[in-house]
Chain A
Amino acid sequence: MVKIGVLFSTTGPYAAMGRDCWDGAAFAVAELAAEGAAVEPVFVDAHGDPARYLDGARALIRDAGCRQIVGTITSLARKEVIPLVEKHDGLLWYTCPYEGFEANENVVYTGACPNQHLVPLFDYLIPRHGDRPYLVGANYVWGWEMNRLARELIMEAGGEVLGERYLPFEETAVERLVADVAARRPSFILNNLIGPASYAFLRAVRDLGRRDAAFSPERCPVVSCDLTECELEAVGPGVAAGQLAVASYFDSLASPENLDLKRRVAAHFGPGRRVSAFFAGAYTAIRMCAEAVAAAGSDEPEAVRRALAGPPRDSVFGPLRIDPRTSHAALPFHLGRITADGGFDIVASRPAIAADPYLVGRHGGRPRLRLVR
Protein backbone atom coordinates (compact mmCIF):
# COMPACT_ATOMS: atom_id res chain seq x y z
CA MET A 1 0.00 0.00 0.00
CA VAL A 2 1.49 3.33 -1.11
CA LYS A 3 0.83 6.14 1.30
CA ILE A 4 0.71 9.56 -0.37
CA GLY A 5 0.34 12.72 1.69
CA VAL A 6 -1.64 15.56 0.16
CA LEU A 7 -0.91 18.98 1.68
CA PHE A 8 -2.82 22.00 0.38
CA SER A 9 -4.88 24.90 1.75
CA THR A 10 -8.58 25.10 0.96
CA THR A 11 -9.01 28.35 2.89
CA GLY A 12 -6.96 31.54 3.02
CA PRO A 13 -5.99 34.10 0.38
CA TYR A 14 -4.98 31.61 -2.30
CA ALA A 15 -7.72 29.11 -1.48
CA ALA A 16 -9.04 28.93 -5.05
CA MET A 17 -5.76 27.40 -6.21
CA GLY A 18 -5.61 25.15 -3.16
CA ARG A 19 -9.12 23.81 -3.68
CA ASP A 20 -8.37 22.99 -7.32
CA CYS A 21 -5.15 21.20 -6.31
CA TRP A 22 -7.08 19.33 -3.61
CA ASP A 23 -9.81 18.34 -6.07
CA GLY A 24 -7.27 17.22 -8.67
CA ALA A 25 -5.49 15.06 -6.09
CA ALA A 26 -8.77 13.64 -4.76
CA PHE A 27 -9.94 12.87 -8.28
CA ALA A 28 -6.71 11.00 -9.08
CA VAL A 29 -7.05 9.05 -5.83
CA ALA A 30 -10.67 8.15 -6.68
CA GLU A 31 -9.62 6.94 -10.13
CA LEU A 32 -6.73 4.91 -8.71
CA ALA A 33 -9.06 3.33 -6.14
CA ALA A 34 -11.54 2.42 -8.88
CA GLU A 35 -8.69 0.89 -10.86
CA GLY A 36 -7.73 -1.20 -7.83
CA ALA A 37 -4.38 0.52 -7.25
CA ALA A 38 -3.03 0.11 -3.74
CA VAL A 39 -2.89 3.79 -2.83
CA GLU A 40 -3.74 5.26 0.55
CA PRO A 41 -3.98 9.05 0.54
CA VAL A 42 -3.72 11.17 3.68
CA PHE A 43 -5.14 14.66 3.21
CA VAL A 44 -4.02 17.60 5.36
CA ASP A 45 -5.41 21.13 5.03
CA ALA A 46 -2.93 23.83 6.10
CA HIS A 47 -5.46 26.66 5.76
CA GLY A 48 -2.89 29.03 4.27
CA ASP A 49 -0.80 29.13 7.47
CA PRO A 50 2.97 28.49 7.03
CA ALA A 51 3.25 27.00 10.54
CA ARG A 52 0.47 24.53 9.74
CA TYR A 53 2.33 23.42 6.62
CA LEU A 54 5.26 22.45 8.83
CA ASP A 55 3.02 20.71 11.37
CA GLY A 56 1.08 19.05 8.56
CA ALA A 57 4.19 17.75 6.84
CA ARG A 58 5.52 16.46 10.17
CA ALA A 59 2.24 14.66 10.84
CA LEU A 60 2.25 13.16 7.33
CA ILE A 61 5.82 11.91 7.58
CA ARG A 62 6.08 10.90 11.24
CA ASP A 63 2.58 9.89 12.21
CA ALA A 64 1.05 8.73 8.93
CA GLY A 65 4.25 7.29 7.46
CA CYS A 66 3.97 9.10 4.12
CA ARG A 67 7.30 9.39 2.33
CA GLN A 68 5.63 10.93 -0.71
CA ILE A 69 3.90 14.28 -0.27
CA VAL A 70 2.10 16.12 -3.05
CA GLY A 71 1.62 19.70 -2.04
CA THR A 72 2.34 23.29 -1.15
CA ILE A 73 1.51 26.20 -3.41
CA THR A 74 3.54 29.17 -2.21
CA SER A 75 7.33 29.12 -2.11
CA LEU A 76 7.09 30.10 1.53
CA ALA A 77 5.26 26.86 2.34
CA ARG A 78 7.52 24.77 0.10
CA LYS A 79 10.62 26.13 1.84
CA GLU A 80 9.03 25.28 5.20
CA VAL A 81 8.43 21.68 4.20
CA ILE A 82 11.65 20.87 2.30
CA PRO A 83 14.06 20.61 5.28
CA LEU A 84 11.72 18.11 6.92
CA VAL A 85 11.39 16.08 3.73
CA GLU A 86 15.19 16.11 3.33
CA LYS A 87 15.73 15.04 6.93
CA HIS A 88 13.35 12.08 6.68
CA ASP A 89 14.41 11.27 3.13
CA GLY A 90 10.99 11.79 1.61
CA LEU A 91 9.92 13.19 -1.73
CA LEU A 92 7.87 16.36 -2.17
CA TRP A 93 5.89 16.71 -5.39
CA TYR A 94 5.59 20.43 -6.14
CA THR A 95 3.08 21.09 -8.89
CA CYS A 96 2.72 24.89 -9.14
CA PRO A 97 4.44 27.49 -11.30
CA TYR A 98 7.18 29.21 -9.27
CA GLU A 99 10.07 31.65 -9.56
CA GLY A 100 12.86 29.08 -10.02
CA PHE A 101 16.31 29.07 -8.42
CA GLU A 102 15.87 25.78 -6.67
CA ALA A 103 16.67 22.16 -7.55
CA ASN A 104 16.42 19.81 -4.62
CA GLU A 105 16.84 16.07 -4.98
CA ASN A 106 14.04 15.49 -2.47
CA VAL A 107 11.58 17.40 -4.64
CA VAL A 108 9.97 16.57 -7.99
CA TYR A 109 9.00 19.82 -9.68
CA THR A 110 6.12 19.56 -12.14
CA GLY A 111 5.27 23.28 -12.10
CA ALA A 112 6.92 25.65 -14.53
CA CYS A 113 9.92 27.84 -13.67
CA PRO A 114 10.80 31.13 -15.43
CA ASN A 115 12.48 29.73 -18.54
CA GLN A 116 9.19 27.89 -19.09
CA HIS A 117 6.83 30.80 -18.39
CA LEU A 118 8.29 34.30 -18.06
CA VAL A 119 11.06 34.08 -20.68
CA PRO A 120 8.89 32.76 -23.55
CA LEU A 121 6.14 35.14 -22.44
CA PHE A 122 8.40 38.16 -22.92
CA ASP A 123 9.67 36.74 -26.22
CA TYR A 124 6.04 36.88 -27.32
CA LEU A 125 4.96 40.16 -25.72
CA ILE A 126 7.83 42.55 -26.41
CA PRO A 127 7.62 42.48 -30.25
CA ARG A 128 3.82 42.78 -30.12
CA HIS A 129 3.17 45.23 -27.30
CA GLY A 130 6.48 46.96 -26.64
CA ASP A 131 9.19 46.95 -24.01
CA ARG A 132 7.86 49.45 -21.47
CA PRO A 133 5.85 47.38 -18.97
CA TYR A 134 4.50 48.15 -15.54
CA LEU A 135 5.25 45.43 -12.98
CA VAL A 136 2.92 44.61 -10.08
CA GLY A 137 3.39 41.77 -7.64
CA ALA A 138 2.56 40.12 -4.36
CA ASN A 139 4.70 41.35 -1.51
CA TYR A 140 6.73 38.15 -1.15
CA VAL A 141 9.31 36.14 -3.04
CA TRP A 142 7.10 35.19 -6.03
CA GLY A 143 6.27 38.81 -6.83
CA TRP A 144 9.73 40.15 -6.04
CA GLU A 145 11.70 37.56 -7.98
CA MET A 146 9.37 37.40 -11.01
CA ASN A 147 9.55 41.17 -11.33
CA ARG A 148 13.32 41.20 -10.83
CA LEU A 149 13.67 38.73 -13.71
CA ALA A 150 11.17 40.73 -15.77
CA ARG A 151 13.25 43.85 -15.22
CA GLU A 152 16.37 41.99 -16.30
CA LEU A 153 14.66 40.76 -19.49
CA ILE A 154 13.42 44.28 -20.24
CA MET A 155 16.91 45.76 -19.68
CA GLU A 156 18.40 43.14 -22.01
CA ALA A 157 15.81 44.09 -24.63
CA GLY A 158 16.75 47.76 -24.29
CA GLY A 159 13.38 48.66 -22.79
CA GLU A 160 12.30 50.44 -19.66
CA VAL A 161 10.25 49.43 -16.62
CA LEU A 162 7.74 52.23 -16.09
CA GLY A 163 6.70 51.20 -12.59
CA GLU A 164 7.02 48.47 -10.00
CA ARG A 165 4.61 48.08 -7.06
CA TYR A 166 3.87 45.42 -4.47
CA LEU A 167 0.74 44.59 -2.49
CA PRO A 168 0.02 42.05 0.26
CA PHE A 169 -2.19 39.08 -0.79
CA GLU A 170 -5.31 40.54 0.82
CA GLU A 171 -4.86 44.24 0.00
CA THR A 172 -7.77 45.33 -2.17
CA ALA A 173 -7.23 49.12 -2.05
CA VAL A 174 -5.67 49.39 -5.50
CA GLU A 175 -6.86 52.87 -6.53
CA ARG A 176 -3.48 54.61 -6.12
CA LEU A 177 -1.67 51.81 -7.90
CA VAL A 178 -4.06 51.92 -10.84
CA ALA A 179 -3.85 55.74 -10.97
CA ASP A 180 -0.07 55.41 -11.28
CA VAL A 181 -0.44 52.82 -14.05
CA ALA A 182 -2.85 55.17 -15.85
CA ALA A 183 -0.41 58.08 -15.56
CA ARG A 184 2.59 56.14 -16.87
CA ARG A 185 0.87 54.48 -19.85
CA PRO A 186 2.86 51.22 -20.07
CA SER A 187 3.05 48.83 -23.06
CA PHE A 188 1.60 46.04 -20.93
CA ILE A 189 1.15 45.14 -17.27
CA LEU A 190 2.83 42.10 -15.72
CA ASN A 191 0.61 40.91 -12.88
CA ASN A 192 2.30 38.80 -10.20
CA LEU A 193 -0.24 39.69 -7.54
CA ILE A 194 -1.91 36.86 -5.69
CA GLY A 195 -5.45 36.31 -4.41
CA PRO A 196 -7.78 39.18 -3.48
CA ALA A 197 -5.17 41.83 -4.44
CA SER A 198 -4.98 40.37 -7.94
CA TYR A 199 -8.78 40.18 -8.28
CA ALA A 200 -9.21 43.81 -7.16
CA PHE A 201 -6.46 44.95 -9.52
CA LEU A 202 -8.03 43.17 -12.51
CA ARG A 203 -11.40 44.77 -11.71
CA ALA A 204 -9.86 48.23 -11.41
CA VAL A 205 -7.97 47.85 -14.71
CA ARG A 206 -11.20 46.73 -16.39
CA ASP A 207 -12.83 49.97 -15.16
CA LEU A 208 -9.82 51.99 -16.31
CA GLY A 209 -10.07 50.40 -19.76
CA ARG A 210 -13.70 51.47 -19.99
CA ARG A 211 -12.75 55.10 -19.24
CA ASP A 212 -9.63 55.11 -21.43
CA ALA A 213 -9.35 52.86 -24.49
CA ALA A 214 -5.55 52.93 -24.21
CA PHE A 215 -6.03 50.49 -21.33
CA SER A 216 -8.27 48.03 -23.14
CA PRO A 217 -6.93 44.45 -23.03
CA GLU A 218 -6.13 44.65 -26.75
CA ARG A 219 -3.84 47.66 -26.33
CA CYS A 220 -2.44 47.22 -22.82
CA PRO A 221 -3.01 43.65 -21.63
CA VAL A 222 -2.64 42.54 -18.04
CA VAL A 223 -0.53 39.38 -18.22
CA SER A 224 -0.30 36.84 -15.39
CA CYS A 225 1.78 33.71 -14.88
CA ASP A 226 -0.49 31.98 -12.37
CA LEU A 227 -4.02 33.08 -13.25
CA THR A 228 -6.08 30.05 -14.28
CA GLU A 229 -9.64 28.89 -14.78
CA CYS A 230 -10.04 28.26 -11.04
CA GLU A 231 -9.78 31.95 -10.09
CA LEU A 232 -11.78 33.63 -12.85
CA GLU A 233 -15.02 33.25 -10.92
CA ALA A 234 -13.50 35.02 -7.93
CA VAL A 235 -12.23 37.79 -10.22
CA GLY A 236 -15.81 38.26 -11.41
CA PRO A 237 -17.69 37.00 -14.47
CA GLY A 238 -16.26 38.60 -17.62
CA VAL A 239 -14.09 41.04 -15.64
CA ALA A 240 -10.76 39.79 -16.99
CA ALA A 241 -12.02 39.02 -20.51
CA GLY A 242 -9.34 39.76 -23.08
CA GLN A 243 -6.45 39.70 -20.59
CA LEU A 244 -3.65 37.18 -21.02
CA ALA A 245 -2.20 34.39 -18.86
CA VAL A 246 0.55 31.82 -19.21
CA ALA A 247 0.13 28.19 -18.20
CA SER A 248 1.44 24.73 -19.03
CA TYR A 249 -2.15 23.58 -19.35
CA PHE A 250 -5.50 25.08 -20.25
CA ASP A 251 -8.93 23.46 -20.08
CA SER A 252 -9.42 24.34 -23.75
CA LEU A 253 -6.52 22.19 -25.00
CA ALA A 254 -7.84 19.90 -27.72
CA SER A 255 -5.43 16.99 -27.16
CA PRO A 256 -6.94 13.49 -26.92
CA GLU A 257 -5.54 13.15 -23.37
CA ASN A 258 -7.28 16.35 -22.30
CA LEU A 259 -10.59 15.55 -23.97
CA ASP A 260 -10.49 12.21 -22.18
CA LEU A 261 -9.69 13.81 -18.81
CA LYS A 262 -12.46 16.37 -19.23
CA ARG A 263 -14.97 13.64 -20.01
CA ARG A 264 -14.02 11.83 -16.81
CA VAL A 265 -14.01 15.07 -14.77
CA ALA A 266 -17.49 15.90 -16.05
CA ALA A 267 -18.69 12.43 -15.06
CA HIS A 268 -17.24 12.85 -11.56
CA PHE A 269 -17.90 16.54 -10.75
CA GLY A 270 -20.84 17.20 -13.06
CA PRO A 271 -20.86 19.18 -16.31
CA GLY A 272 -19.40 22.70 -16.45
CA ARG A 273 -16.41 22.00 -14.19
CA ARG A 274 -13.39 23.59 -15.81
CA VAL A 275 -10.00 22.00 -15.22
CA SER A 276 -7.13 24.35 -14.35
CA ALA A 277 -3.35 23.85 -14.46
CA PHE A 278 -3.51 23.52 -10.65
CA PHE A 279 -6.07 20.71 -10.85
CA ALA A 280 -4.21 19.03 -13.70
CA GLY A 281 -0.87 19.39 -11.90
CA ALA A 282 -1.99 17.76 -8.66
CA TYR A 283 -3.92 15.08 -10.57
CA THR A 284 -0.89 14.23 -12.71
CA ALA A 285 1.50 14.22 -9.73
CA ILE A 286 -0.61 11.74 -7.77
CA ARG A 287 -0.86 9.42 -10.76
CA MET A 288 2.85 9.71 -11.56
CA CYS A 289 3.78 9.16 -7.94
CA ALA A 290 1.62 6.05 -7.62
CA GLU A 291 2.98 4.70 -10.91
CA ALA A 292 6.60 5.41 -10.02
CA VAL A 293 6.33 3.87 -6.56
CA ALA A 294 4.70 0.79 -8.07
CA ALA A 295 7.40 0.55 -10.74
CA ALA A 296 10.16 1.05 -8.16
CA GLY A 297 8.63 -1.46 -5.77
CA SER A 298 9.44 0.98 -2.98
CA ASP A 299 8.63 4.49 -1.86
CA GLU A 300 12.28 5.20 -1.16
CA PRO A 301 13.02 8.50 -2.98
CA GLU A 302 16.15 7.33 -4.78
CA ALA A 303 14.25 4.35 -6.22
CA VAL A 304 11.26 6.51 -7.13
CA ARG A 305 13.50 9.03 -8.88
CA ARG A 306 15.14 6.23 -10.84
CA ALA A 307 11.69 4.98 -11.86
CA LEU A 308 10.80 8.50 -13.03
CA ALA A 309 13.79 8.72 -15.34
CA GLY A 310 13.32 7.26 -18.75
CA PRO A 311 10.85 7.79 -21.53
CA PRO A 312 8.20 10.51 -21.20
CA ARG A 313 4.74 9.44 -20.07
CA ASP A 314 1.51 10.62 -21.67
CA SER A 315 -0.29 13.35 -19.75
CA VAL A 316 -2.55 16.33 -20.28
CA PHE A 317 0.66 18.41 -20.33
CA GLY A 318 1.72 16.38 -23.35
CA PRO A 319 4.54 13.84 -23.14
CA LEU A 320 5.89 14.45 -19.64
CA ARG A 321 9.55 13.91 -18.88
CA ILE A 322 11.30 14.54 -15.56
CA ASP A 323 14.91 15.57 -16.05
CA PRO A 324 16.89 13.45 -13.56
CA ARG A 325 19.53 16.18 -13.36
CA THR A 326 17.25 19.04 -12.28
CA SER A 327 14.32 16.96 -10.98
CA HIS A 328 12.06 19.31 -12.98
CA ALA A 329 9.48 18.44 -15.64
CA ALA A 330 9.86 19.63 -19.22
CA LEU A 331 6.64 21.60 -19.83
CA PRO A 332 4.89 23.23 -22.77
CA PHE A 333 4.24 26.97 -22.87
CA HIS A 334 0.72 28.14 -23.62
CA LEU A 335 -0.49 31.72 -23.70
CA GLY A 336 -4.23 32.05 -23.19
CA ARG A 337 -6.61 34.96 -23.71
CA ILE A 338 -9.39 35.00 -21.15
CA THR A 339 -12.85 34.56 -22.63
CA ALA A 340 -16.05 36.24 -21.45
CA ASP A 341 -17.34 32.94 -20.06
CA GLY A 342 -14.31 32.18 -17.87
CA GLY A 343 -12.11 30.07 -20.12
CA PHE A 344 -9.02 30.65 -22.22
CA ASP A 345 -8.48 30.85 -25.97
CA ILE A 346 -4.96 29.66 -26.64
CA VAL A 347 -3.18 32.31 -28.71
CA ALA A 348 0.39 30.93 -28.68
CA SER A 349 2.09 27.68 -27.72
CA ARG A 350 5.50 26.11 -27.61
CA PRO A 351 6.19 22.40 -27.21
CA ALA A 352 7.80 21.12 -24.02
CA ILE A 353 10.70 23.26 -22.81
CA ALA A 354 13.30 21.60 -20.56
CA ALA A 355 13.39 23.31 -17.18
CA ASP A 356 16.43 25.48 -16.45
CA PRO A 357 15.75 26.50 -12.85
CA TYR A 358 18.98 28.49 -12.41
CA LEU A 359 18.82 29.97 -15.94
CA VAL A 360 22.19 28.40 -16.68
CA GLY A 361 21.40 28.15 -20.39
CA ARG A 362 20.61 31.85 -20.77
CA HIS A 363 24.11 32.75 -19.73
CA GLY A 364 25.94 29.77 -21.17
CA GLY A 365 29.30 30.78 -22.59
CA ARG A 366 28.69 34.42 -21.78
CA PRO A 367 30.62 35.46 -18.67
CA ARG A 368 28.22 37.30 -16.43
CA LEU A 369 30.31 37.42 -13.31
CA ARG A 370 33.85 38.53 -13.10
CA LEU A 371 35.29 35.44 -11.48
CA VAL A 372 38.92 36.06 -12.12
CA ARG A 373 41.79 33.87 -11.18
Chain B
Amino acid sequence: MRSTPSFAGRRAVVLHRPDPGIERLTRQLERLGLSVTVAWEPIGAGAPECDIVLVDADQGWSGLLPWDGAAAPVPVVALLASEAPGRIAWAMEQGAVAVIAKPIAASAVYPALVLAAALYAERRDLAERMARLEERVRMRPLVHAGVRAIMAARKVDEEAAYRLLRETAMRRRLTMEHVAAGIVAGAEPLPEVG
Protein backbone atom coordinates (compact mmCIF):
# COMPACT_ATOMS: atom_id res chain seq x y z
CA MET B 1 0.00 0.00 0.00
CA ARG B 2 1.35 3.37 -1.01
CA SER B 3 -0.57 6.18 0.62
CA THR B 4 -2.63 6.38 3.79
CA PRO B 5 -6.34 6.20 2.93
CA SER B 6 -7.99 9.47 3.88
CA PHE B 7 -11.63 10.48 3.86
CA ALA B 8 -11.03 14.16 4.53
CA GLY B 9 -13.67 16.27 2.82
CA ARG B 10 -15.80 13.26 1.79
CA ARG B 11 -19.56 13.09 2.28
CA ALA B 12 -21.28 10.13 3.91
CA VAL B 13 -24.98 9.31 3.96
CA VAL B 14 -26.07 7.09 6.84
CA LEU B 15 -29.41 5.42 6.19
CA HIS B 16 -30.55 4.38 9.65
CA ARG B 17 -33.07 5.40 12.28
CA PRO B 18 -31.35 7.87 14.61
CA ASP B 19 -30.21 6.25 17.87
CA PRO B 20 -27.25 6.65 20.26
CA GLY B 21 -25.21 4.11 18.29
CA ILE B 22 -25.74 6.08 15.09
CA GLU B 23 -24.77 9.27 16.92
CA ARG B 24 -21.53 7.55 17.92
CA LEU B 25 -21.00 6.39 14.32
CA THR B 26 -21.61 9.94 13.09
CA ARG B 27 -19.03 11.35 15.49
CA GLN B 28 -16.48 8.73 14.43
CA LEU B 29 -17.09 9.49 10.74
CA GLU B 30 -16.60 13.19 11.48
CA ARG B 31 -13.31 12.36 13.21
CA LEU B 32 -12.23 10.74 9.95
CA GLY B 33 -12.89 14.01 8.17
CA LEU B 34 -16.26 13.17 6.57
CA SER B 35 -19.39 15.27 6.61
CA VAL B 36 -22.39 13.15 7.53
CA THR B 37 -26.09 13.17 6.71
CA VAL B 38 -28.34 10.75 8.60
CA ALA B 39 -31.62 9.84 6.93
CA TRP B 40 -34.20 7.08 7.09
CA GLU B 41 -36.00 7.41 3.79
CA PRO B 42 -35.20 6.40 0.21
CA ILE B 43 -32.43 8.49 -1.27
CA GLY B 44 -33.18 10.07 -4.63
CA ALA B 45 -32.64 8.23 -7.88
CA GLY B 46 -29.59 8.99 -9.96
CA ALA B 47 -26.29 10.05 -8.48
CA PRO B 48 -26.62 10.71 -4.75
CA GLU B 49 -24.82 13.74 -3.41
CA CYS B 50 -22.35 11.71 -1.41
CA ASP B 51 -19.18 9.65 -1.69
CA ILE B 52 -20.13 6.69 0.51
CA VAL B 53 -23.36 5.18 1.87
CA LEU B 54 -23.74 3.32 5.16
CA VAL B 55 -27.04 1.51 5.31
CA ASP B 56 -29.01 -0.35 7.98
CA ALA B 57 -29.10 -3.88 6.60
CA ASP B 58 -31.27 -5.11 9.49
CA GLN B 59 -34.28 -3.02 8.53
CA GLY B 60 -33.45 -1.71 5.08
CA TRP B 61 -36.00 -2.45 2.36
CA SER B 62 -35.80 -2.73 -1.39
CA GLY B 63 -36.15 0.75 -2.78
CA LEU B 64 -34.30 2.40 0.10
CA LEU B 65 -31.35 2.67 -2.28
CA PRO B 66 -32.13 3.56 -5.88
CA TRP B 67 -29.81 0.96 -7.42
CA ASP B 68 -29.12 -2.76 -7.35
CA GLY B 69 -25.70 -4.07 -6.41
CA ALA B 70 -23.80 -4.07 -9.69
CA ALA B 71 -24.71 -0.48 -10.42
CA ALA B 72 -24.02 1.10 -7.00
CA PRO B 73 -22.47 4.46 -7.92
CA VAL B 74 -20.66 4.82 -4.57
CA PRO B 75 -19.13 2.40 -2.04
CA VAL B 76 -21.76 0.89 0.27
CA VAL B 77 -21.18 -0.32 3.84
CA ALA B 78 -23.78 -2.47 5.61
CA LEU B 79 -24.62 -1.80 9.28
CA LEU B 80 -25.64 -5.20 10.53
CA ALA B 81 -26.60 -6.88 13.80
CA SER B 82 -28.44 -9.80 12.26
CA GLU B 83 -26.73 -12.95 11.04
CA ALA B 84 -29.74 -13.95 8.94
CA PRO B 85 -28.63 -14.99 5.45
CA GLY B 86 -31.49 -13.03 3.93
CA ARG B 87 -30.27 -9.77 5.47
CA ILE B 88 -26.69 -10.42 4.38
CA ALA B 89 -27.97 -11.14 0.87
CA TRP B 90 -30.00 -7.92 0.91
CA ALA B 91 -26.86 -5.99 1.88
CA MET B 92 -24.92 -7.56 -0.99
CA GLU B 93 -27.73 -6.78 -3.41
CA GLN B 94 -27.40 -3.12 -2.47
CA GLY B 95 -23.72 -3.29 -3.40
CA ALA B 96 -22.33 -3.54 0.14
CA VAL B 97 -18.67 -4.52 0.08
CA ALA B 98 -18.01 -4.16 3.81
CA VAL B 99 -19.90 -4.66 7.07
CA ILE B 100 -19.82 -2.79 10.36
CA ALA B 101 -21.33 -5.00 13.05
CA LYS B 102 -23.80 -3.47 15.48
CA PRO B 103 -23.40 -2.41 18.24
CA ILE B 104 -20.84 -0.29 16.44
CA ALA B 105 -17.30 -0.27 17.86
CA ALA B 106 -15.39 2.90 17.04
CA SER B 107 -12.44 0.80 15.87
CA ALA B 108 -14.58 -0.90 13.20
CA VAL B 109 -15.40 2.24 11.23
CA TYR B 110 -12.13 3.27 9.54
CA PRO B 111 -11.21 -0.28 8.44
CA ALA B 112 -14.68 -0.78 6.92
CA LEU B 113 -14.46 2.50 4.98
CA VAL B 114 -10.99 1.68 3.67
CA LEU B 115 -12.10 -1.79 2.62
CA ALA B 116 -15.32 -0.57 1.01
CA ALA B 117 -13.57 2.21 -0.93
CA ALA B 118 -10.81 -0.10 -2.16
CA LEU B 119 -13.14 -2.94 -3.16
CA TYR B 120 -15.53 -0.53 -4.82
CA ALA B 121 -12.72 0.98 -6.88
CA GLU B 122 -11.42 -2.46 -7.77
CA ARG B 123 -14.89 -3.66 -8.79
CA ARG B 124 -15.45 -0.58 -10.93
CA ASP B 125 -12.04 -0.86 -12.60
CA LEU B 126 -12.70 -4.52 -13.37
CA ALA B 127 -16.10 -3.68 -14.87
CA GLU B 128 -14.51 -1.01 -17.06
CA ARG B 129 -11.79 -3.37 -18.20
CA MET B 130 -14.31 -6.08 -18.90
CA ALA B 131 -16.39 -3.69 -21.00
CA ARG B 132 -13.32 -2.65 -23.01
CA LEU B 133 -12.29 -6.25 -23.60
CA GLU B 134 -15.80 -7.27 -24.61
CA GLU B 135 -15.86 -4.43 -27.10
CA ARG B 136 -12.57 -5.60 -28.56
CA VAL B 137 -13.74 -9.21 -28.84
CA ARG B 138 -16.86 -7.99 -30.60
CA MET B 139 -14.69 -6.03 -33.07
CA ARG B 140 -12.22 -8.86 -33.78
CA PRO B 141 -13.82 -9.81 -37.17
CA LEU B 142 -13.33 -6.22 -38.28
CA VAL B 143 -9.61 -6.42 -37.51
CA HIS B 144 -9.34 -9.61 -39.57
CA ALA B 145 -11.13 -7.93 -42.45
CA GLY B 146 -8.77 -4.95 -42.20
CA VAL B 147 -5.72 -7.25 -42.23
CA ARG B 148 -7.02 -9.04 -45.33
CA ALA B 149 -7.59 -5.68 -47.06
CA ILE B 150 -4.02 -4.58 -46.32
CA MET B 151 -2.63 -7.94 -47.51
CA ALA B 152 -4.40 -7.46 -50.84
CA ALA B 153 -3.50 -3.80 -51.26
CA ARG B 154 0.15 -4.07 -50.21
CA LYS B 155 0.92 -7.60 -51.35
CA VAL B 156 2.26 -8.52 -47.93
CA ASP B 157 1.76 -11.54 -45.74
CA GLU B 158 -0.65 -11.62 -42.81
CA GLU B 159 2.01 -10.92 -40.20
CA ALA B 160 3.28 -7.81 -41.99
CA ALA B 161 -0.27 -6.59 -42.62
CA TYR B 162 -1.10 -6.97 -38.95
CA ARG B 163 2.06 -5.06 -38.01
CA LEU B 164 1.15 -2.24 -40.42
CA LEU B 165 -2.32 -2.00 -38.95
CA ARG B 166 -0.97 -1.89 -35.41
CA GLU B 167 1.68 0.74 -36.19
CA THR B 168 -0.87 2.93 -37.94
CA ALA B 169 -3.21 2.67 -34.98
CA MET B 170 -0.42 3.61 -32.58
CA ARG B 171 0.64 6.56 -34.71
CA ARG B 172 -2.89 7.88 -34.93
CA ARG B 173 -3.53 7.09 -31.26
CA LEU B 174 -6.58 5.03 -32.18
CA THR B 175 -7.49 1.44 -31.49
CA MET B 176 -6.73 -1.15 -34.18
CA GLU B 177 -10.47 -1.78 -34.39
CA HIS B 178 -11.04 1.88 -35.26
CA VAL B 179 -8.44 1.93 -38.03
CA ALA B 180 -9.59 -1.42 -39.41
CA ALA B 181 -13.18 -0.15 -39.55
CA GLY B 182 -11.99 2.82 -41.63
CA ILE B 183 -10.05 0.59 -44.02
CA VAL B 184 -12.91 -1.86 -44.47
CA ALA B 185 -15.29 1.04 -45.11
CA GLY B 186 -12.92 2.18 -47.87
CA ALA B 187 -12.26 5.50 -46.16
CA GLU B 188 -8.69 4.71 -45.13
CA PRO B 189 -6.09 3.93 -47.75
CA LEU B 190 -3.42 3.72 -44.99
CA PRO B 191 -1.95 7.08 -46.11
CA GLU B 192 1.05 7.22 -43.83
CA VAL B 193 2.17 3.65 -44.48
CA GLY B 194 4.76 2.65 -47.04
The answer, among A101, A152, A325, for a CB contact under 8 Å with B3, is A152
Q: Is B31 a contact of A364 with CB atoms below 8 Å? A: no
The answer, among A86, A155, A359, A372, for a CB contact under 8 Å with B6, is A359
Which chain A residue shows the least CB distance to B30?
A: A325
A276, chain B: closest CB distance, angstroms: 29
B-binding segment of A61-69, A102-110, A191-199, A310-318: A102-110
- As a 0/1 sequence over residues 58 to 74 of chain B, the CB contacts with chain A under 8 angstroms (1 = contact) are 00000000000000011
| Assembly CA distance A102 to B32 (angstroms) | 10
Residues of the A chain whose Cβ atoms lie less than 8 Å from the Cβ of B73: 372-373
A219, CB-defined interface residue at 8 Å: no
**Given A364-B9, A371-B74: A152 in contact with B4 (beta carbons within 8 A):** yes
Which chain A residue shows the least CB distance to B121?
A: A370
Q: Is A359 a contact of B52 with CB atoms below 8 Å? A: no
Residues 320 to 373 of chain A near chain B (Cβ within 8 Å):
325-326, 357-373
A213, CB-defined interface residue at 8 Å: no
A-binding segment of B37-45, B92-100, B102-110, B157-165: B102-110
Q: Is B7 a contact of A369 with CB atoms below 8 Å? A: yes
The secondary structure that dominates the A interface is loop
| Assembly CA distance A371 to B6 (angstroms) | 10
**Given A152-B2, A326-B31: A371 in contact with B51 (beta carbons within 8 A):** yes
Q: Is A104 a contact of B48 with CB atoms below 8 Å? A: no
B10, CB-defined interface residue at 8 Å: yes
Residues 1 to 58 of chain B near chain A (Cβ within 8 Å):
1-10, 24, 27-28, 30-33, 47-48, 50-52
| Assembly CA distance A263 to B175 (angstroms) | 79
B interface residues with partner A (beta carbon < 8 Å)? 1-10, 24, 27-28, 30-33, 47-48, 50-52, 73-75, 105-107, 110, 117, 120-121, 124
Kindly list 15 other residue pairs between chains A and B, CB separation below 8 angstroms, not including A371-B121, A372-B74, A373-B73.
Answer: A86-B106, A103-B28, A152-B3, A325-B30, A326-B31, A358-B31, A360-B6, A363-B33, A364-B33, A368-B3, A368-B5, A371-B7, A371-B117, A372-B124, A373-B74
A interface residues with partner B (beta carbon < 8 Å)? 79, 82-83, 86, 101-105, 148-149, 152, 155, 325-326, 357-373
Chosen A-B contacts, 12 in total, with CB atoms closer than 8 Å, are A86-B105, A101-B110, A103-B28, A149-B4, A152-B4, A325-B30, A358-B6, A371-B10, A371-B52, A371-B75, A371-B117, A373-B48
